[in-house]
Chains A and B, each alone.
Chain A
Amino acid sequence: MVKIPARILVVDDEVDFAEMLSLRLKEVGEIVLSVHNGQDCLKTLEEKDNIDVVILDIKMPGMDGIEVLKEIRKKFPIVEVIMLTGHGSAETAVKGLKLGAYDYLMKPADFTDLAAKLEGARKRSDEHKERIRAAELKLLLRKTGEF
């Protein structure tokens, strides 16, 4: 079975890191965009409504990862988020999980781990989309029935 590529948005103020991680993900067949701050992340999500997973750095100047995460949860509930931290404080990561992130990874992360988490995040995103579709369909059917 041919794997359907995931649409991933990498958000990290470390430009080189975002670039290299994007290259690696593209190499394994994913569709990847990268931006370097929180505002651009939210803007990209608005413009492109087909992003499955955001890989989000926690520590960024300006809007930090936690703030971005809150916005994403509010405005784009279907998008899954994997937090990335160079910081040891698991507390921030746990805070991220409580706010609805799918998972978190410590930098430098093992690519196999990341790939596994991406797979999981994407699956959850797909299930979410599926439930919405089913609900919409049900609604549509009911409406049709009324006529």
Chain B
Amino acid sequence: MKNVRILFVDDETAFLDTIIKRMKKRGFNPERASSGNDALALLRENPIDIIVSDIRMPGMDGIELLGEVKKRYPKTEIILLTGHATSQDGVVGIKEGAFDYLSKPIEIDHLVSKIGQAFDKILRDEEKKKETEFRVKMEQQMVATKRLASLGTLAAGVAHEVNNPLAIINESAGWMGQILEKEELAEMPRKTDFKMALGKINNAVERARVITHQLLGIVKKDNAVLSEVNVGEFIDEIIQMAGVEIKSKDIKIIKHIDDTLTSVWIDPHQVRQILINLLTNAVHATPDGGKLFLALEDSDKDILFFIKDTGEGIPKENLEKIFEPFFTTKSPGNGTGLGLFIIKGIIEKLGGGIDVKSKLGVGTTFCITFPK
């Protein structure tokens, strides 16, 4: 309560001097202004919780000041001071949104208790606002989660239904391929054309298969199998698995592992899948000869993985969408837009979290946390 920011506004200097001295004695440190305009000027520079203002002032009076303050600083509460004969003004003030009014001469204890009440109201309002904001956010998140969950179920169902006809196409094209190899068809006209077209069918089936299998992977309920993993070896293994592309693009990998982390308890299979996927993305994003940072940090409760590339970065409007299913900026056939969606699902199932920061022209950093 002592740190409540108070502003006294009155055109009578003697009154201001006295009241401020008395307030200071009680441990407060109020600001002062001798007119409505002075008060507004001060408010522009300093945030104030409670204004105690005289009503009758030359120029802008207390009621006008109240109107301006309510318009510009709705969180600030105002206590009005009236002359003994003009308490009617105070009633007008309350109608206009003042917290309360006091008649002069004022009892200092009474004023302090009124300030306390006003401050409580500010705290309550803030609390209420935070609660409302939190509730709205939770509701939005729940809607999004539900939407994704039902989308996942639907996608898995569709994938299953598509797999069967896909399998028929696969076997039919495969059979034709087998027949083409037979001796009886050695002299078949335009054989290469048929082979070429069958090759296209096989490629398309393979593409569709990757998509359906990824979609089906979303609803897999595999439980985590934790084991103790040597951090250095684990990271080297992941770098090695993404190695071909790293070498062909001449990318320099800079890794940092906290000394306190020699071994960790994780699900190596799932974490490996996540890290390889993220590392491959980072390699794709990094220009030839660029740098890539891989860090593992130890915090109180969590293990933090950082994967940072020096690519062109992700535009802000895309940053919100990258975890949505089917969002991709790659050309058809080069990305399904499911990678990050699935990764996020796995991480959350393991009780962790994923966060991304990106700056255009500088690069992108993914941070994954896993509970220890």
Interface residues of A (CB under 8 A from B): 14, 16-17, 20-21, 23-24, 27-28, 59, 86-91, 106-109, 111
B6 contacts the other chain (CB 8 A): no
Q: Looking across the interface, which residue of chain A has its beta carbon closest to that of B216?
A: A88
| A20 & B172 in contact (Cβ 8 Å cutoff) | yes
For chain B, residues 166 to 210, give those with C-beta under 8 angstroms from any C-beta of chain A. Answer: 166-172, 174-175, 178-179, 205, 209
| B205 & A89 in contact (Cβ 8 Å cutoff) | no
| B174 & A111 in contact (Cβ 8 Å cutoff) | yes
C-beta contact mask, B216-259 vs A, less than 8 Å → 1, else 0? Answer: 11011110000000000000000000000000000000000000
| B160 & A24 in contact (Cβ 8 Å cutoff) | no
Residues on the A chain within 8 Å of B167, using CB: 14, 17, 86, 107-109
Partner of B219, one of A21, A86, A88, A111: A88
Q: Looking across the interface, which residue of chain A has its beta carbon closest to that of B214?
A: A88
Partner of B220, one of A17, A24, A86, A88: A88
Q: How far is the CB of A16 from chain B (nearest CB, A)?
A: 5
Residues on the A chain within 8 Å of B169, using CB: 108
Q: How far is the CB of A82 from chain B (nearest CB, A)?
A: 14
Given A21-B171, A107-B166, A108-B166, output 10 extra A-B contacts at Cβ < 8 Å. Answer: A24-B178, A28-B178, A88-B156, A88-B159, A88-B160, A88-B215, A88-B216, A88-B219, A89-B216, A109-B167
For chain B, residues 137 to 185, give those with C-beta under 8 angstroms from any C-beta of chain A. Answer: 156, 159-160, 163-164, 166-172, 174-175, 178-179
Q: What is the predominant secondary structure among interface residues of chain B facing chain A?
A: helix
Residues on the B chain within 8 Å of A24, using CB: 171, 174-175, 178
Residues on the B chain within 8 Å of A16, using CB: 168
The complex places the Cα of A21 from the Cα of B170 at a distance, in Å, of 9
| B160 & A87 in contact (Cβ 8 Å cutoff) | yes
Q: Looking across the interface, which residue of chain B has its beta carbon closest to that of A16?
A: B168
| A27 & B209 in contact (Cβ 8 Å cutoff) | no
B357 contacts the other chain (CB 8 A): no
| B interface bracket (residues with beta carbon within 8 Å of A) | 20 to 34
B284 contacts the other chain (CB 8 A): no
Q: Looking across the interface, which residue of chain B has its beta carbon closest to that of A13?
A: B164
| B164 & A20 in contact (Cβ 8 Å cutoff) | no
Q: How far is the CB of B175 from chain A (nearest CB, A)?
A: 5
The complex places the Cα of A28 from the Cα of B175 at a distance, in Å, of 10
Q: Looking across the interface, which residue of chain B has its beta carbon closest to that of A15?
A: B168
Q: How far is the CB of A106 from chain B (nearest CB, A)?
A: 7
Residues on the A chain within 8 Å of B212, using CB: 88
Q: How far is the CB of A57 from chain B (nearest CB, A)?
A: 9
B213 contacts the other chain (CB 8 A): yes
| B163 & A107 in contact (Cβ 8 Å cutoff) | yes
Residues on the A chain within 8 Å of B179, using CB: 27
Residues on the A chain within 8 Å of B215, using CB: 88
The complex places the Cα of A13 from the Cα of B215 at a distance, in Å, of 23
| A27 & B175 in contact (Cβ 8 Å cutoff) | yes
Residues on the A chain within 8 Å of B171, using CB: 17, 20-21, 23-24, 108, 111
The complex places the Cα of A86 from the Cα of B160 at a distance, in Å, of 6
The complex places the Cα of A24 from the Cα of B170 at a distance, in Å, of 11
Residues on the A chain within 8 Å of B170, using CB: 108-109
Residues on the B chain within 8 Å of A87, using CB: 160, 163, 216
Partner of A23, one of B163, B175, B205, B221: B175
| A108 & B220 in contact (Cβ 8 Å cutoff) | no
The complex places the Cα of A86 from the Cα of B174 at a distance, in Å, of 18
List, sorted by A's number, 16 A–B pairs whose CB atoms are closer than 8 Å: A14-B168, A20-B171, A20-B172, A24-B174, A87-B160, A88-B216, A89-B219, A89-B220, A90-B222, A107-B163, A107-B164, A107-B166, A108-B170, A108-B209, A109-B167, A111-B174
